[in-house]
Chains A and B, each alone.
Chain A
Amino acid sequence: DTGVSQNPRHKITKRGQNVTFRCDPISEHNRLYWYRQTLGQGPEFLTYFQNEAQLEKSRLLSDRFSAERPKGSFSTLEIQRTEQGDSAMYLCASSSDSHWLDTQYFGPGTRLTVL
């Protein structure tokens, strides 16, 4: 039983560049979430998918951020024109609405450093 996987684990980029992260959820999970975690803080919700539909977006998700889940399986999070303030750990989680507990299980995260 594989858990949530994320790639890459680390990304260093220069300010102004675009970056894309990938998340592969637990195979039977139809819900997928993105969170952002900065140093010394708890994760903050960014967006949520039910199958391929993006149902909720945080106001933290500026116009430079876009997330997709085209076939209801893996998801990508793209940040355009990166800024130093985007430096953070980006966490993906998945859950199943067919399970009454609907607990979110997290991946290892992608650590982004914007120089």
Chain B
Amino acid sequence: AQKVTQAQTEISVVEKEDVTLDCVYETRDTTYYLFWYKQPPSGELVFLIRRNSFDEQNEISGRYSWNFQKSTSSFNFTITASQVVDSAVYFCALRVGGGNKLTFGTGTQLKVEL
């Protein structure tokens, strides 16, 4: 069985601070895919990034960066110089190779204040 743990329920930061959202996953499959989605107050899940189990390269996209470490089964997400518009619930998700469903964590509510 697969499991995704997002231990941080809620994080509050002041604008321009850096913030890291943690994600720990569990799976026995050797091929799997990890995702981050953003859910703003409007409710729609917005895809941010996908990572394959065989590619441990970290990735940076503008103010967003992701740190994938198989040794610790973690796929953490960092927002640099946070902005109020980053306020949302962020979900980490896992899909195993050959499978179809996404297994989501419980999400981290990020609040960025002025």
Residues of A contacting B: mostly: strand
Is the beta-carbon distance between A41 and B100 smaller than 8 angstroms? no
Q: Contacts A103-B50, A106-B44, A106-B45 known; A42 to B100 CB distance under 8 Å?
A: no
Is A22 among interface residues, defined by CB-CB distance under 8 A?
Answer: no
Is the beta-carbon distance between B44 and A48 smaller than 8 angstroms? no
Is the beta-carbon distance between A109 and B100 smaller than 8 angstroms? no
Is the beta-carbon distance between A107 and B44 smaller than 8 angstroms? yes
B91 contact set on A, CB distance < 8 A? 42-43
Q: How far is the CA of A56 from the CA of B96 in the complex (A)?
A: 14
Minimum C-beta distance from A38 to chain B (A): 11
The one of A33, A58, A109 that contacts B43, using a Cβ cutoff of 8 Å: A109
Interface size on B, residues (CB 8 A): 20
A41 contact set on B, CB distance < 8 A? 106-107
Is A104 among interface residues, defined by CB-CB distance under 8 A?
Answer: yes
Is the beta-carbon distance between B93 and A42 smaller than 8 angstroms? yes
Q: How far is the CA of A109 from the CA of B45 in the complex (A)?
A: 9
Proximity bits, A46-88, B CB within 8 Å = 1, else 0: 0010000001101000000000000000000000000000000
8 A Cβ contacts from B6-55 to A? 35, 37, 42-47, 50
Residue of A nearest to B44 (CB): A108
Minimum C-beta distance from A37 to chain B (A): 9
Proximity bits, A84-104, B CB within 8 Å = 1, else 0: 000001010100000001011
B104 contact set on A, CB distance < 8 A? 42-44
Minimum C-beta distance from B40 to chain A (A): 11
Minimum C-beta distance from B90 to chain A (A): 10
The one of B44, B101, B105 that contacts A45, using a Cβ cutoff of 8 Å: B101
Is B103 among interface residues, defined by CB-CB distance under 8 A?
Answer: yes
| Contacts A40-B106, A107-B44 supplied; 8 other A-B pairs, CB < 8 Å | A33-B102, A42-B105, A42-B106, A43-B91, A43-B104, A55-B100, A108-B42, A108-B43
